[in-house]
């Protein structure tokens, strides 16, 4: 097939298939830009799909976006006499705003703040900052970009945040086509705010939403959105992620999940008041495909019988398990339940594990080794008895599966003692091995 495409003149298509493999490898993509015009033309859109994704002090790409603004917006910006005169759009090699696919409002705001602070020492007014933010959003809208992911993160709140978020969301909602076809929607709203109406409009405008992340403690807001008559994604939404959510007092979960007809995966990441959550989930009439369960010291599942009922219902679906705690007397029971009911674990992350529980951890690894490809273990009390640590290393090496994508060990050992582990794990291939806390 590849040879036929070469002879038929489809070389750009083949090169693009190659370059797509470097989608998140920015240094390689930059190198591709320098090869020739064809490679440059194919690599630039990938470089500009999500330029706000990584935080650095160098946010000069903001000015590149400003060069693409229409003349009216440039005139308004130039009136402040803060930024050097912006070039006409026809002097820019690419229409960079048209390439964006991932939009995170918080990251845009922070990137603009850093860019102004780094490049313009004179004080900039809040109005000017808002103008820059709005100008970028308008540029994306005017270019009719095909957004894939839209994220609203409000992790701090003050009057300035209120005003800037309000202005940005108003601009976005003026053109419903801008966000009505996104696949991934993320809300991480830490505190109460005045933007509920805007967020409700964004949710109700969705037609093809596949994935939604609901973060922090505004589940009452999220609950009302999912139960709204205007929510149009019951037949498209296949993934829900709950991130640091408190389920206390939430009593409509059955109604929410029963109306989602194509839900394929649910992810619970460091949420609390899980007893309330589980009591409702076990009463669902349809399968509950819990794919991720990450617990920490406030997990609040009491009694443990509730966890047993949850795993009996959906343990076969569980693929990602994480535990992070300084102390929990029920960790052993948790691991025993996981060993019994969850055989399809692919990712296992255990932090704060006491040495006396390690044998139970080994039993779990042995039970899931056929599917396990990511393992991270942090041993609590790693300054314990030398013989205990040596025994852990010996048995861990024997318990590992033959192949792992990632293996992370966090334990205080001397480098020469680590040879014991390497000898006992010589049949295990790890694509990435991370060792921390070596003495």
Half-sphere exposure (Cβ direction) of 342: Cα atoms closer than 13 Å: 31
pLDDT given for residue 320 in this prediction: 96
Q: What is the pLDDT of residue 324?
A: 81
The Cα–Cα gap between 362 and 381 comes to: 18
pLDDT one digit per residue (tens) for the chain, 439 residues? 444 444 334 567 778 777 777 777 778 888 888 888 888 888 889 989 988 887 666 788 888 888 888 888 888 888 877 776 555 555 678 889 999 999 999 999 999 988 888 877 666 788 888 999 999 999 999 998 988 999 988 766 665 667 888 889 899 988 878 888 889 988 887 665 567 778 778 887 888 889 999 887 666 666 666 767 767 788 899 999 999 888 887 788 888 888 889 999 999 999 888 888 898 899 888 899 999 999 886 555 666 788 889 999 999 999 999 988 654 557 788 889 999 999 999 999 988 787 778 888 889 998 998 999 999 988 765 555 666 777 777 777 778 888 888 988 887 777 777 777 777 776 677 788 787 765 5
- Contacts of residue 101, defined as CB under 8 A and 6 or more positions apart, other chains included, come to 49, 50, 145, 146, 147, 148, 149
Per-residue model confidence (pLDDT) at position 409: 82
Q: pLDDT tens across 165-221, in order? A: 888 989 998 887 888 888 998 888 766 556 777 877 888 788 888 999 988 766 666
DSSP string, 286-344: S---EEEEEEETT----SHHHHHHHHHHHGGG--EEEEE-S--TTHHHHHHHHHHH---
DSSP-derived 3-state class of residue 434: strand
User: What is the predicted pLDDT for the residue at 188?
Assistant: 80
| pLDDT tens for each residue of 329-345 | 577 888 899 999 999 99
66 forms beta bridges with none
Dihedral of the CA atoms 429, 432, 436, 439 (nearest 10)?
A: 50
Q: Where are the alpha helices (DSSP H) in 318-433?
A: 331-341, 358-368, 386-399, 418-424
**Which residue from 166, 138, 120, 116 is spatially nearest to 72, judged by alpha carbons?**
138
pLDDT for position 8: 39
Pairing of strands 149-154, 102-104: parallel
Q: Phi then psi for 306, rounded to 5 degrees?
A: -65, -40
pTM for this predicted structure: 0.84
- What does the CA dihedral 34, 37, 38, 39 come to, rounded to 10 degrees? 10
- Cα 396 off chain centre by: 30
d(CA 239, CA 233): 11
pLDDT computed for residue 385 by the predictor: 62
Calculate the alpha carbon distances from 44 to 9, 19, 41, 50, 357 in Å.
Answer: 22, 10, 6, 11, 51
**Residue extents of the structural domains in the chain:** 1-47, 50-370
Contact 413, 389 (CB under 8 A): yes
| Residues 361 and 377: beta-carbon distance below 8 Å | yes
How would CATH label the architecture of 50-370? Alpha-Beta Horseshoe (3.80)
Nearest to 96 by CA among 60, 125, 123: 60
Contacts of 18 (CB under 8 A, 6+ apart): none
Q: Which residues pair with 351 in a beta bridge?
A: 324
Query: Which residues partner with 337 through β-bridges?
Result: none
**Residue 336 · residue 360 · CB < 8 Å:** yes
Q: How many angstroms separate the CA atoms of 96 and 83, rounded? A: 19
Report whether 121 contacts 104 (CB < 8 A). Answer: no
Q: Which helix (H) or strand (E) holds 94?
A: none
pLDDT of residue 34: 87
Q: Of 371, 386, 383, give the one whose Cα is nearest residue 417.
A: 386
Q: What is the pLDDT of residue 378?
A: 84
pLDDT of residue 27: 81
Q: What is the model's pLDDT at position 3?
A: 46
């Amino acid at each position: 097939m590849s040879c036929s495409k070469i002879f038929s003149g489809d070389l750009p298509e083949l090169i693009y298939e190659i370059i797509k493999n470097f989608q998140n490898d920015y240094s390689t993509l930059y190198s591709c830009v320098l090869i020739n015009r064809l490679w440059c033309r194919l690599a630039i859109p990938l470089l500009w799909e999500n330029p706000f994704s990584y935080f650095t002090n160098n946010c000069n790409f903001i000015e590149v976006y400003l060069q693409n603004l229409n003349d009216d917006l440039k005139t308004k910006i130039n009136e402040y006499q803060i930024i050097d005169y912006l070039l006409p759009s026809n002097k820019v090699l690419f229409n960079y705003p048209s390439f964006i696919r991932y939009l995170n409002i918080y990251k845009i705001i922070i990137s603009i703040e850093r860019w102004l602070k780094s490049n313009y020492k004179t004080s900039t007014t809040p109005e000017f900052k808002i103008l820059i933010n709005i100008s970028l959003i308008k540029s994306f809208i005017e270019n009719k970009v095909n957004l894939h992911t839209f994220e609203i993160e409000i992790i701090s709140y003050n009057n300035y945040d209120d005003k800037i978020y309000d202005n940005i969301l108003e601009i976005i909602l003026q053109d419903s086509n801008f966000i009505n076809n996104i696949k991934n929607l993320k809300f991480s709203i830490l505190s109460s705010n005045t933007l509920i109406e805007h967020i409700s409009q964004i949710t109700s405008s969705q037609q093809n939403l596949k994935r939604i992340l609901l973060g922090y403690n505004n589940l009452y807001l999220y609950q009302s959105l999912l139960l709204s008559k205007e929510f149009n994604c019951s037949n498209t939404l296949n993934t829900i992620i709950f991130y640091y959510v408190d389920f206390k007092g939430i009593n409509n979960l059955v109604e929410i999940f029963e109306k989602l007809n194509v839900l394929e995966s649910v992810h619970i990441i460091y949420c609390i008041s899980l007893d309330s959550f589980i009591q409702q989930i076990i009463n669902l009439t349809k399968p509950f495909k819990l794919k991720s369960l990450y617990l920490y010291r406030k997990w609040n599942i009491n009694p443990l019988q509730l966890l047993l009922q949850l795993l009996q219902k959906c343990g076969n679906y569980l693929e990602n398990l994480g535990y992070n705690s300084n102390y929990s007397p029920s960790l052993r029971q948790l691991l025993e339940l996981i060993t019994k009911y969850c055989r399809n674990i692919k990712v296992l992350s255990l932090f704060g594990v006491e040495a006396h529980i390690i044998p139970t951890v080994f039993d779990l690894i042995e039970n899931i080794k056929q599917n396990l490809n990511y393992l991270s273990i942090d041993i609590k009390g790693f300054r314990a008895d030398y013989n205990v640590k040596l025994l852990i290393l010996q048995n861990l090496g024997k318990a590992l599966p033959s192949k792992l994508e990632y293996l992370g060990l966090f334990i205080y050992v001397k480098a020469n003692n680590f040879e014991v582990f390497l000898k006992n794990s010589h049949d295990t291939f790890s694509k990435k091995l991370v060792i921390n806390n070596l003495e």
